[in-house]
Structure 1
Amino acid sequence: MNTTPLLACEGLEAGYGASQVLFGIDLQILPGEVVTLLGRNGMGKSTTIKTIIGALKPTRGELRFAGVSLRARSPDAIARLGVAIVPEGRHCFPNLTVREHLVAFASRRHAAGEPWSLERIYGVFPRLKERQHHMGNQLSGGEQQMLAIGRALSTNPRLLILDEATEGLAPVVREEIWRCLATLKAAGQTLLVVDKYVHRLVGLADRHVILERGNVVWQGSSAELDADRQLWHAYLGV
């Protein structure tokens, strides 16, 4: 595995007005890695993601993607560098069909190896092909999540961020999303995942980062996290 970080956050601080939320976040993601961002609600996970994608400007620290500083870059410029997000709440367009979602945002700018073409996305999510002429607001919550992931993949991102990947989904649909993420990992897609189902994440991810009140309180491998259930109780409420 390439040991040069694709994403590097060093001493990252950010907040909203006078309210500081992040206090010196250190985080690295290597190419091909699956890394999770864990913690209870309100501990800084969403703020970290907003800072990475340029929706919130850091007040201090360094943020680099593929060696390029992101501090002064706009969200669209960061997206063009190869960062894509599957947002919490999915945000599918009600007036676009499934196929239009997957075609309208397609780009092969950062495709490495086999690109995420329309047919390849349909291969991962056969249900999207079955519903390719349905509008975004005619899909179930699970189908909308599949569409949001497929839409992000169509940009052929170097880093794919999934915020609350399985939030609000039925158990059977969650299983389908977990299978999808395992497929993406096997394909070498670099992932940053936020989700609360730690018992599933330890079987998927390479490394985990736990946040508590805007600080990184623990980082380690899946084997280390799986072996220390006290961490689950102390910081994750599991």
Structure 2
Amino acid sequence: MTALLEAEGLQTAYGSSQVLFDLHLRIEAGDVATLLGRNGMGKTTTVRTLMGLTPARAGSVRFLGERIERLSADRIARMGLALVPEGRQIFGNLSVAENLQAFAANRRAAREPWTMDRVLALFPRLGERLRHMGHQLSGGEQQMLAIGRALMTNPQLLILDEATEGLAPLVREEIWRCLQTLRAQGQSILVIDKYVQRLLALGNRHTVIERGRVVWQGSSAELSAQPEVWQRYVGV
């Protein structure tokens, strides 16, 4: 059976410094997969390589069976991968409404296409700030906008790098609620975050990486039963 996304033997480097070493990752349609590991272990580089932002030096990435590791980032995005990047990177000089409209895309694969109304139903706070400029939003509101903007592309795979990094506890809870809602709707997700307990409840497949190599993969039940994996590789 063809996976939604599959990376095999992935190697990535920045100049002479190799970061990923023969990394393997498989995500099925409907999965909520996670990438776990301490800071600097290659999680963001993995995401950047999957999205075509940092070219792979070796190995392959297949999306719905098609090789994509040599494609441009915009081509990969048009195929149905959407990234909520670390740091949000919304357009500060555009309003909330303009940020959302700029990424609107209709895809035949979308069972229930994402519209602005649907995003605002998911994040009512954005509806109260439609005319606010991006730079006028709080960090939590910017993260909601970044997620909403990605959803407006109607992605087949939604990728979140540091989903709740730097957010206040109440805002983090809202982001977790959003992700649970998306999971219930069948959205395929790959998420990076440091809150392992929340990821155990959200995800069904977990990959732990250490210094650019996969050191453990398994289900939530398997990871819950092996706290030594958390202590050794995640630092919790």
Residues 1-238 of structure 1 aligned to structure 2 (within 5 Å): 3-238=1-236
Query: What TM-score results when the alignment is normalised by the length of structure 2?
Result: 0.98
User: 1:164-217: CA deviations, max 9, x gaps?
Assistant: 000000011000000000011011111000000001100000110000011000
Q: Distance in 2 between matches of 1:205 and 1:46?
A: 18
Alignment coverage as a number of residue pairs: 236
1:27 match: secondary structure: strand
Q: Distance in 2 between matches of 1:129 and 1:9?
A: 38
Q: Distance in 2 between matches of 1:188 and 1:68?
A: 22
Contact 1:52 1:63 in 2 (8 A): yes
2:24 match: secondary structure: strand
Tell which deviates more after alignment, 65-74 or 155-164: 65-74
Contact 2:107 2:113 in 1 (8 A): no
| Pairwise CA distance, 1:71 | 2.0
| Pairwise CA distance, 1:134 | 0.7
Query: What TM-score results when the alignment is normalised by the length of structure 1?
Result: 0.97
Contact 2:37 2:208 in 1 (8 A): yes
1:113 match: secondary structure: coil
Contact 1:82 1:110 in 2 (8 A): no
User: 1:148-172: CA deviations, max 9, x gaps?
Assistant: 0000000000111000000000011
Q: For the structure 1 residues 17 and 110, does the alpha-carbon distance in structure 2 shift closer, same or farther, using more than 3 Å as the test?
A: farther
Q: Distance in 1 between matches of 2:85 and 2:32?
A: 17
Letter in 2 for 1:222: S
Q: Distance in 2 between matches of 1:112 and 1:90?
A: 24
CA RMSD of aligned residues (A): 0.9
Q: Distance in 1 between matches of 2:20 and 2:92?
A: 35
2:21 match: secondary structure: strand
Letter in 2 for 1:20: Q
